[in-house]
Amino acid sequence: MARIFIVEDDLTVAAMLRHSIASQDHEIMHFTDAEDCMGNMGMRPDIISIDYNLPGMNGIELMMRVKEIDPMAMVILVSGQETREVIVDAYRKGASDYIIKNESLNANFANAIDNLAANVRLRKEVEVLREQIIDRHKYSSILGNSQAILKVLKLMQKVEKSNIMVLITGQSGTGKELVAKALHYNSNRARKPFVTVNMGAIPEDLVESELFGHEKGAFTDARERRIGKFEEANEGTIFLDEIGEMTLHLQSKLLRVLQEKEVTRIGSNKTIKLDFRMIAATNRNLANEVKEGRFREDLFYRIQGFLIHLPPLEERGDDVILLAKNFLSDFCLNNRMSQPELSRETISFMLKYKWPGNIRELKAVIERAAVLCENNTITPEDLMFVTA
């Protein structure tokens, strides 16, 4: 189905044209003059039928203005003029078809619409396929061919060039920091800093200083000025890992920084304007944290500008083996060991195992197995699991 504009001041001719394509299930809109047509170009018509002799502006002039707005729009000029010079001029200036107003008008118009609509369908199919193509070279650090991980890569490709905040969710060990880094290094900020802050690893009394910085003498042990992580990330990206670990007091301060794009160091009254992109990650269900009163609702909505959820390893199928072989190769290369093989039984076992620790657990298990195995083959018995 195509969106079609018919620009025709003769209501009888317009009704004939509309009737000739009524059975083709297109979305058809009729305008009586150029001004009405131009005012509705925001609807992005696929095909525009234009009467050559419109009042106030001829069809050639309207076509050229339409092409300035949307070069992809296909134009049919409908005219009573049959002179060769006029027809050649119309095609030269961008018409997709030129139809004479005679006894064959309806049939010729229907055929022209049918042909151009086929081009529209083909173009839209190509656009869909283009959107589905993933440049794997950009995401070489994120291994996997499962549908679950390809869905993640498609989302990353859509958002990488934007400055929109991204919230990455998923269980621990699923690779949230890898995704954040890939987003940064494929963004327009790639040459600027990428600053990581693990909110769960900083003592509570030091978090504010870590994020926003402090002046010399601001508190005991503040022996010199310190630049906070947000300042470090100016013009680049700041990645707040495990944002769900923040206290409500700090959440309030973070919300203000995100809204105003400025920080104030502890012990200072001076605000510092910043330009940064924030990516956050959590293994918690923040919606539940909001309900329980542990996470601010306004901050929750603020940070989830674009949501990317990482699947657990058990949902990634054969990616388990691909990742295992990659970890095995790296480990053996770094330790100057010959690389063992994974037995069939081991592969079968690994595909059935749930991997509660996700990729982090897989990496540790494979590296231990490389050390333990004999006869250059990893067996299920070599896969030692450490339970919590």
d(CA 5, CA 2): 10
Q: Which residues lie closer than 8 Å to 140 by C-beta, 6 or more apart?
A: none
Burial letters 16-37, b for 16+ CB under 10 A, else e: ebbebbeeeebebbbbbbbeeb
Residues 269 and 123 occupy one common structural domain = no
Provide the pLDDT for residue 50: 95
User: CB under 8 Å, gap of 24 or more: what pairs does 266-269 form?
Assistant: 266/208, 266/209, 266/212, 266/213, 266/214, 266/215, 266/218, 266/219, 266/222, 267/214, 267/215, 267/216, 267/217, 267/218, 267/219, 267/222, 268/214, 268/215, 268/218
Query: Going by C-beta distance under 8 Å and a sequence separation of 6 or more, which residues neighbour residue 60?
Result: 52, 77, 89, 90, 93
Looking at the fold, whether 237 and 175 belong to one and the same domain comes out as: yes
E strands, 199-298, are: 213-214, 226-227, 237-241, 262-264, 271-273, 277-282
Say how far apart CA 48 and CA 30 lie, in whole Å. Answer: 10
Q: Smallest Cα–Cα separation from 123: which of 58, 46, 36, 220?
A: 46
- Say whether both 122 and 191 belong to one domain: no
Q: Which CATH number covers residue 237?
A: 3.40.50.300
* 126 and 211 share one domain: no
Give the pLDDT confidence score for residue 333 in this predicted structure.
93
What are 339-388's pLDDT values in tens digits?
999 999 999 999 999 999 999 999 999 999 999 998 999 999 999 766 55
Task: State whether 120 and 204 are in the same domain.
Answer: no
CATH number where 11 lies: 3.40.50.2300
SS3 (DSSP) at 49:
strand
* Boundary (domain end) residue, out of 131, 156, 185: 131
Task: Assess whether 300 and 166 both reside in one domain.
Answer: yes
Global confidence as pTM: 0.66
Task: Report d(CA 134, CA 359) in Å as an integer.
Answer: 22
Q: Decide which of 311, 346, 371 is a domain's last residue.
A: 311
Counting as low any pLDDT under 50, the low residues of the chain are: none
Both 17 and 62 in one domain: the answer is yes
First to last CA, the chain: 57
Examine the fold and report which residue of 261, 293, 311 is the final residue of a domain before the chain moves on.
311
Q: 357 and 261 in one domain? A: no
Contact 125, 112 (CB under 8 A): no
On whether both 358 and 243 belong to a single domain, the answer is: no
Instruction: Identify whether 139 is part of a domain.
Output: no
* pLDDT tens-digit map of 11-56: 999 999 999 998 888 999 999 999 999 999 999 999 999 999 998 8
Q: What domain range includes position 349?
A: 314-382
DSSP labels, 203-225: -GGGHHHHHHEE-TTSSTT--S-
Q: Are residues 122 and 33 in the same domain?
A: yes
Q: What is the pLDDT of residue 24?
A: 83
- Give the C-alpha separation, 343 to 382, whole Å: 11
Residues 45 and 112 in one domain: yes
User: What is the number of domains present in the chain?
Assistant: 3
Distance in angstroms (rounded) separating the CA atoms of residues 169 and 175: 10
For the beta carbon of residue 281, count every other beta carbon within 10 angstroms. Answer: 26
For the chain, what is the largest distance between any 2 Cα atoms, rounded to a whole number of angstroms?
94
DSSP sequence for 302-352: HH-SEEEEPPPGGGSTTHHHHHHHHHHHHHHHHTT-PPPEEPHHHHHHHHH
Give the per-residue pLDDT at 57: 87
pLDDT of residue 338: 92
One domain for residues 18 and 155: no
